Structure 1
Amino acid sequence: MRVTLQHDLSREEVRRRMRNHADEIAGFFPPGLANVTTGWSSDDRMDITAEVMGMSIPGRVDVGEDHVVISMDLPMLLSVMKGPLEAAVKKEGQRLLAP
C-alpha cells in the first residue's frame, strides 16, 4: 500500500506533526486489531511496525519537500484491508497536513 499526500508546509512542520500524532496510526486499522510502534531512522523517515493478527507489518513515512509518502508492506492475507486502510490514511493524512 502506498499513499502520496501533497503539502504546503515546511519539512520541519511536517515532522513535528508526524511526531505529535504518531500514536494515532493504530486507529487506521479496525479497533483493537493493531499494535503500532514508530521510530525515526532519519530526519525525513518515520518507520512504522504494525502487529496485526500475529503478523509484523513494516511501513514508513517519507517526508518530502512538498509531499509525504506513506507505505506499508501488507501481506497477502491482509490485502482485503488495503482499500479501507488507504482511505483512512488519505483522510487522516490530509487532516494532519492541512495548513
Structure 2
Amino acid sequence: MSQPIEVDLPHSLGKDEARRRIANNVHRLTDHIPGGAHVESGWTGDQLNLRIQALGDSIQSTIDVQETKVVVKVLLPGMLGMFSGVIAGALQKKGNVLLEDHTKG
C-alpha cells in the first residue's frame, strides 16, 4: 500500500519566477537523496511530474507551482511509507532548495 505525503512550501516569488527556479534546480534533487537516485521529470503546465528511482523503489511525485506556494506531493511505495513522517520533515526543511536562485553570482 502506498503512503501519500503533501508539503506546502510558501514563497513570495510569484508563479513564473518559482517555476523558473524549480526548472533550473530540479537536477539538484539527486544531491539530497541518500544512496543516490535517478530522477526523470517533465512539465505539464505549472506542474512538474517526477519519477524518482532510489533504494530499489520508484517514487512518483508532483510539484504544483502556485502564486504564493509550491505544493509537493509524494507517493511512497511499500515499506518507504513507514518513513513518511521523516520524509515529510525533510521535504519541509530542505524543499526550499528548489526555489533558490543560482543564476546570480
Following superposition, the deviation at residue 56 of structure 1 comes to 2.1
Number of the residue aligned with 1:64: 66
Question: RMSD over aligned Cα, in angstroms?
Answer: 2.1
TM-score, length-scaled by structure 1: 0.81
Tell me the distance in 1 between the aligned counterparts of 2:82 and 2:33: 12
Decide whether aligned partners of structure 1 residues 78 and 63 sit closer, same or farther in structure 2, where only a CA change above 3 A counts: same
Determine whether 1:76 maps to 2:83: no
Structure 1 residue corresponding to 2:26, chosen from 2, 14, 22: 22
With over 3 angstroms needed to count, the CA separation of the structure-2 counterparts of 1:35 and 1:59, relative to structure 1, is same
Task: For residue 16 of structure 1, report the CA deviation from its aligned partner.
Answer: 0.9
- Deviation, 1:45, is 0.3
Counterpart code for 2:49:
D
Asked if the contact 1:38–1:47 (Cα under 8 Å) also holds between the matched residues in 2, the reply is: yes
2:17 is matched with which residue? Answer: 13
Distance in 1 between residues matched to 2:35 and 2:54, nearest whole Å: 11
Using the TM superposition, give the Cα deviation of residue 69 of structure 1 relative to its aligned residue in structure 2, in angstroms: 0.4
SS at match of 1:73: strand
Structure 1 runs of 4+ with >4 Å offset: none
The counterpart of 2:39, out of the listed 24, 36, 39, is: 36
Gaps of 5+ in 1: none
- Of all paired residues, the percent bearing the same amino acid is 34
What is the TM-score normalised by the length of structure 2?
0.78
Total equivalences in the alignment? 97
Query: Helix, strand or coil: the match of 1:14?
Result: helix
Query: Cα offset for 1:89?
Result: 1.8
